Amino acid sequence: MKNSVLLALILAASVVQLPAANAQVGNEQDAMRQYEALPWISAPSVPVVASRGTIKLSSQVRYLDATGTNKLLQLTGNLPEKDSYTLASKDAKWFAIYSFNSIGYVKDNEEIDADALLKQMKENDVAQNEMRKEQGLAPLTTVGWAVPPHYDNVSKNLEYGVILSSPTGQNINYHMRILGRRGVMDAALITGQQTLQADLAEFREANKGFAFNADESYASFKEGDKVSEYGLAALVTGGAVAAAAKGGFFKLILLFLVKFWKIIALGVVGLAAGARRFFGGKNNDANGGYAE
């Protein structure tokens, strides 16, 4: 378990005080007891995700409903979310937070220019960090792509990973946006930089068990359904965040960022980096976070 980002996050959020000689061992044991005590759901169950779909669980993963996910978020030092769900590897190497945004049917006929999107994201840093400051959150700076945005027209999945920098270090923010008839299911992956590729492969395989309900799938779109004002690029960049900020629409921007930039998720950056005090060796990866 020494390479578990989950464990690092819990330890970083912990305020338990123990004698110096036993601090790491005691904290690790307490953290894993709390983690294992969460109300996990395992195969052969096929749990519901945000009332929009289901996910068939393999023997390698387990699941938390909204109540369990709130407990996990709080355990890792995050604010709870109203309607989020967790898919996690049984060995606690990674987990993913699922949430649905009912913005309507997103047209997928837009070309993706990774260089242009990265430029826009960097320009949006100023407006987003003004809002983060209002919320008492540390600033985040866009560094570059860990995985450039790419869209699969068959699965209707948009994926991308961006490297973010905070005062405590760097973090990868990785998202899978799954397009549906009435909106987008977002799956935000939490893992470490050193294990991104291996954990991402496991997550993608596990996510194959997810399916929208028949009338929620992208293919079930009908004339008259709500069509989103946002396209594929906006799902990556945060849409018209900078423009809305200039117009003073603070609540609108905050809602958009919570849904598409995962303010709660990004808060993990500082917590995970802080775990270095518990995992001090060069061979251990404490730079966990939401990976995109």
Residue bearing the bigger pLDDT, 210 or 272: 210
- Dump pLDDT digits (tens) for 93-102: 888 999 998 9
What pLDDT was estimated at residue 92?
A: 85
Domain count, the chain: 1
Residue range of the domain that includes 128: 5-291
Is the pLDDT at 282 greater than 70? The verdict is no
Q: What is the DSSP string of the chain?
A: -TT-HHHHHHHHH------GGGHHHHHHHHHHHHHHTS--EETT---EETTTEEE---TTEEEE-HHHHHHHHHHTT----SSEEEEEETTSS-EEEEEEE---BPP------HHHHHHHHHHHHHHHHHHHHHTTPPP-EEEEEEEEEEEETTTTEEEEEEEEEETTEEEEEEEEEEEBSSSEEEEEEEEESTTHHHHHHHHHHHHTTEEE-GGGBGGG--TTS-B-S--HHHHHHTSSHHHHHHHT-HHHHHHHHHHHT-HHHHTHHHHHHHGGGT--STTS---EEEE-
For the ranges 80-89, 106-115, 144-153, 180-189, the lowest mean pLDDT is seen at 80-89
Question: Which of 97-101, 102-106, 170-174, 180-184 is predicted least confidently?
Answer: 170-174
